[in-house]
Amino acid sequence: MSDDRREIHDLVLRYCRGIDRIDLDLVRSCYHPGAVDHHTGFDGPVEEYVEWLRPLLTSKSGGTHHMIGNHLSEVNGDHAVAETYAHATHWGGPEDSPKGNFTTGVRYVDHLERRDGRWGIVERWAVREWVRRDGDSLSAAKGTLARRDGTDPIDNLRAQVL
């Protein structure tokens, strides 16, 4: 894979990690300043998007799992287009009712630009396609090791090894 395509794929992976671990600096670092995000329920610059996200994520008693699959990017000079499929699972809260438990199928359509040698999103359409209400059938795994406060196993291992 070209280095450009690898960097763009890694960027989308870091976005997902940032959301799911509530590391919003990591989320923001995937965009260039002033980038625009079109999201269900939000439409505006990334700086405001991140602030809009924060209470949504922290109010969830469970968590989110942004699983991505298909990632197809095309580079044209300092610009690129990428389409990334995702299944986003949400469980627990805000009100801890079954309404907080759902999965949605999304395609992230990204316009990226290379500035000063670094790729970043300049405009994103989070194209939500379907929603599945998972009600009482979805729940947190008992005794999970997952954390969203910087002490998840991935955080601990990265601190130890890298």
Q: Which residues contact a copy of itself (rule: CB under 8 A)? A: 1, 6, 10, 13-14, 16-17, 38, 40, 62-63, 65-72, 74, 76, 79-81, 83, 85-87, 89, 91, 104-105, 107, 109, 111, 125, 127-135, 137-141, 143-146, 152-154, 157-158, 161-162
Closer residue to a copy of itself (CB): 118 or 159: 159
Contact 44, 38 (CB under 8 A): no
Return the number of the residue (43 or 95) whose C-beta is nearest a copy of itself. Answer: 43
Q: How far is the CB of 37 from a copy of itself (least distance, A)?
A: 13
- For residue 18, the minimal CB distance to a copy of itself (Å) is 11
Kindly tell me which of 59 and 159 has the beta carbon lying closer to a copy of itself.
159
The answer to whether 71 and 12 are in contact (CB under 8 A) is yes
Burial of 4-24, coded b for 16+ CB within 10 Å and e otherwise, reads: ebebbbebbeebbebbbbbbb
Q: How far is the CB of 105 from a copy of itself (least distance, A)?
A: 5
The CB-of-160 to a copy of itself minimum distance in angstroms stands at: 8
Q: Are 31 and 135 in contact (CB under 8 A)?
A: no
Name the nearest CA neighbour of 28 among 147, 120, 154, 159: 120
Contact criterion met (CB below 8 Å) for 53 and 77: no
Of the two residues 13 and 56, which places its CB atom closer to a copy of itself in the complex? 13
Question: What 3-state DSSP class applies to 38?
Answer: strand
